[in-house]
Structure 1
Amino acid sequence: MALIRTSSPHLHKASSTADVMRLLILATLPGLAAMTFFFGWGTLINVIWACLLAVGFEAAIVKLRKRPLGFYLKDYSAIVTALLLGLALPPFAPWWVTMVGVFVAIVIAKHLYGGLGQNPFNPAMVAYALLLVSFPVQMTSWTEPFVLNGSEGSWNVLSFGQTLGLIFGSIDPALMDAYTGATPLDAMRHRSGLTTEEVWRSVPVLSEGIGAWQAVSAAYLMGGVFLIYRKVFTIHTPVAVLGSLAVISTLFHIIDPSSFAGPFFHLTTGATMLGAFFIATDPVTSATSNRGKIYFGIGIGVLVYVIRGWGGYPDAIAFAVLLMNLSAPFIDQYTQPRTYGHAKAKRGMKGGS
C-alpha cells in the first residue's frame, strides 16, 4: 500500500486544512466580541490590520519562493496566525508593532522553516515573545475595561475613530494614558508588599474590574468547547494545561494564601483560556500522541505558573508554549503508541538506530 508522506496537521476525515482553519476563526469570535465590548475597538482594529498584513506577507513570500499563490492563501493558516497574534496584543498597540509581529510570524517563524507543517514553534507566539521583549512599553500598555474608566455604563469611552487615530498615530498618544492601566496579573505580580487579600481590596482592577477578564476567558472557553465538539482537537492538551495550572496554584495557595492567588484567579485571567484551547493545541508544534499531549499540556501549565509567580513577566503563555514546542519532539520520541501488530511500543532512542 502506498503511503502519502505529508507533514502535520494530519486529518482523518473528509476535511481540508481550510475547513479546520475556518472553524478556528469561528470559535474565536465570542472572545473577540467580549474583548471589543470590554476594552474598546482596539482589539478588532488590531485583528483586521494583522490579517491584512498576513495575507500580504504570505503572498509576497510565496511568490518569492515560486510556489502556487492560490494554494497557500486558500488554507487560511496565515489568517489564523494573524488572528491569534491580534487577540494577544494590547488594544492600543501601535500599527508598526503589529506589522513587525506579523512579519516575524509569517516570514521568519513560518516560511523560513518551509511553511505550514514545517515550523517547529508556534508562529504567533514567536512573534508575541519577540514583541514583548523588544517593545515592553507598547506591549504592557493595556486598556482598562470600560467599567473602570468613568464611562457610566456607556459601551465605549473612545470612539472607533479615536481608537483608530491612537493606533495609527494621528492622535496624540498622551491621550492613551487616561485609558490604560494594570491587568489583574500585573496587579497581583507587583503588589508592593501587600498580601493577596489587601491587593484584592485596594486595586480597582481586581475589586471592580476583574469580571471583564473573566467574561473574556469564559468566551474563549466556549469557543474551545465548540472546537472539541467539532473534533478539531482532543481534550488532552487543554485539560492538561488547565488541570496542571489549577493543581499547582491550589497547592501554593493552601501553603501561603497571603502570597499566592488561588486557582480560579489563574484560570480566568490573562491568556489562560486562549492559550489552552487555541495555541497549545496547534497540531504542528505540539505533541502528537494522546499521552504526549498530556505531558505537553502539563508542562505548559507548570511553566505558566512558575513564570507568573517568579519570572519577570506577569503572563507567561507565549514563553511556556515556546519552551514546550522545543520539547515536543522529545516527548513524541518517548510516547509513541504501540503499532498495530507489535507487542509493545517502540519508544526512546535505540542503540545503533
Structure 2
Amino acid sequence: MTFGTAPAPHVVAHTGVARVMRIVIYALVPTVVLHVAFFGVGLLVQIALGSVTALIAEAVALRLRRKPVAPFLTDGSAILTAILLALCLPPLAPWWLIVSGTAFAILLAKHLYGGLGANPFNPAMVGYAVLLVSFPVQLLQWLPPAGMEIEQVKLTVGETLSTILTGSLPSRLTWDAVTSPTPLDALRTNLNMGMTMAEAQAAPIFGTWGGRGWEWINLATLAGGIALLALRVIRWHIPVAMLSAIVVCASFMYVVDPGAYAGPIFHLTSGASVLGAFFIATDPISAATSDRGRLIYGAGIGLLTYVIRTWGGYPDGVAFAVLLMNLSVPLIDRYTIPRIYGHAR
C-alpha cells in the first residue's frame, strides 16, 4: 500500500481568515460602543448599511469572477471593511456615502486586483479617500460629542434614521445647530485665525488631553489593539513604529514652538491615530511583510500622518498616509525581505 506524503508544513495552525476577521471585529466593539455613547446611534445605521452593501458587492464580484460565493461571504472580510469605513464617516452622513464608498472599496479596491489576498491597497481607506476627495463638505458634518458644556440639540433614534436616509434634518433644526468640527479640524481653523495653542484648545470641543469624547474612544481602540497583540492576530512592529513616529514628530515641533503646534498626547487622543495603527495599517495583505519592513512601513505612515495633519490640506492624514505607504510596500519588501538560503540576490 502506498501512502501519500503531504508537503511541509505538517503542523497546521488552527487559524483561518474567518477566525481572524471575527477577532478583529470583536476587538472593535469597545470603540463602536463608546462612539455611539458620544455621538449617537448613527454609527450603527452606517455599519448596517455598509455591511449589507459589502455583502451584496462581494457576492456580485464573486459571481462575475466565477468564484464560490458562500466561503467568502462568511469570512468576515467584507463586513470588517464596512465597519472600518463607517467609523471614518460622520454619524449623520447620508446613506449614499457609506453605500457608494463601500461598493467602491469592495468592487474596485479589492476585487479589481484579484480579491482577498491580492489587493495592494487597504480597501476601506481607498473608499474613504474617494469619498473625502469627492464630498468633503458632507464628511465634515460631525456631531458635537456628548458632555460638552453647551446646550446641544439631541436627535431621537427615528430622527437620526430619517436624516441618514433622506439627507435632511427635521424641519425644526438646521445643520449649524447640530454639527460641529472635529478636534483636528477645529484646531487647524483656530490656529489659522492667529490663535495660540492655549487659546485654540479653550473651545468646549477639546477635553483634557485631546478631543472631547475622542480621548475615550481612542483608549477603547487601544484596548482592542492590545487584545489583538495578546492574541497574536497582529504583530507589534507597525503599531509601535507608527505611533512612535507621530510622538517623535509632534514632540519635536512642540519643543520648537509650543504655541503653534500640538503636543504628542493630543495627536494620539484625537483623530484616527490609534485606529490606524492597530486596525488599518496592520492589514497583512497591503502591509510590508518582514519585521524590518514593518518598522519602516509603520514609521512612514506615522510621519506622513503628522505632515498631512500639520501642513496638508486635510485635518487627519491617516487614510492618505496608509495609501501612500501601500504604494511603497513593493520597494520596502525588495530591500528588507531576508535572502533565501542558497540563493544570491
TM-score by length of 1: 0.90
What are the within-5 Å matches in structure 2 for residues 38-57 of structure 1? 38-57=38-57
CA distance in 1, matches of 2:146, 2:166: 22
Q: CA deviation at 1:45?
A: 1.0
CA distance in 2, matches of 1:48, 1:176: 24
Once the two structures are superposed, residues 277-320 of structure 1 have per-residue CA deviations (whole angstroms, 9 ceiling, x without a partner) of 00000000000111100000000000000000000000000000
When structure 1 is superposed on structure 2, of 206-215 and 328-337 the one drifting more is 206-215
CA distance in 1, matches of 2:321, 2:234: 20
Once the two structures are superposed, residues 254-297 of structure 1 have per-residue CA deviations (whole angstroms, 9 ceiling, x without a partner) of 00101100000001100111100000000000001111000000
Contact 1:146/1:157 (CA < 8 Å) preserved in 2?
A: no
What are the within-5 Å matches in structure 2 for residues 190-339 of structure 1? 190-191=189-190, 192-201=193-202, 203-206=203-206, 210-339=211-340
CA distance in 2, matches of 1:207, 1:272: 17
Tell whether 2:156 aligns with 1:159: yes
Question: Which amino acid counterpart does residue 183 of structure 2 have in structure 1?
Answer: P
Contact 1:18/1:74 (CA < 8 Å) preserved in 2?
A: yes
Contact 1:151/1:157 (CA < 8 Å) preserved in 2?
A: no
Contact 2:211/2:266 (CA < 8 Å) preserved in 1?
A: no
CA RMSD of aligned residues (A): 2.1
Using a 3 Å threshold, how does the CA distance of structure 1 residues 149 and 63 change in structure 2: closer, same or farther? Answer: farther
SS in 2 for 1:270: coil
Q: CA deviation at 1:2?
A: 7.3
Once the two structures are superposed, residues 132-186 of structure 1 have per-residue CA deviations (whole angstroms, 9 ceiling, x without a partner) of 000011111111102227568xxx9212111101100175375443121111101
CA distance in 1, matches of 2:40, 2:330: 40
Once the two structures are superposed, residues 327-353 of structure 1 have per-residue CA deviations (whole angstroms, 9 ceiling, x without a partner) of 0111011111254x55xx96xxx5xxx
Q: CA deviation at 1:94?
A: 0.4
Structure 1 residues without counterparts, runs of 5 or longer: 5-10
SS in 1 for 2:115: coil
CA distance in 2, matches of 1:74, 1:80: 11
CA distance in 2, matches of 1:269, 1:307: 14
* Equivalent position of 2:129 in the other structure: 129
Structure 2 residues without counterparts, runs of 5 or longer: none
Question: Which amino acid counterpart does residue 182 of structure 1 have in structure 2?
Answer: P
CA distance in 1, matches of 2:334, 2:241: 19
Once the two structures are superposed, residues 13-62 of structure 1 have per-residue CA deviations (whole angstroms, 9 ceiling, x without a partner) of 21110000000100000000010000011111111110111011111111
* Equivalent position of 1:112 in the other structure: 112
Using a 3 Å threshold, how does the CA distance of structure 1 residues 12 and 34 change in structure 2: closer, same or farther? Answer: farther
* Equivalent position of 1:181 in the other structure: 180
Contact 1:41/1:159 (CA < 8 Å) preserved in 2?
A: no
Contact 1:300/1:324 (CA < 8 Å) preserved in 2?
A: yes
* Equivalent position of 1:93 in the other structure: 93
Q: CA deviation at 1:198?
A: 1.1
Using a 3 Å threshold, how does the CA distance of structure 1 residues 170 and 251 change in structure 2: closer, same or farther? Answer: closer
SS in 1 for 2:201: helix
% identity of equivalent residues: 48
When structure 1 is superposed on structure 2, of 276-285 and 139-148 the one drifting more is 139-148
CA distance in 1, matches of 2:151, 2:189: 27
Contact 2:308/2:316 (CA < 8 Å) preserved in 1?
A: yes
CA distance in 2, matches of 1:17, 1:107: 19
* Equivalent position of 2:166 in the other structure: 169
Question: Which amino acid counterpart does residue 184 of structure 2 have in structure 1?
Answer: L
CA distance in 1, matches of 2:273, 2:207: 20
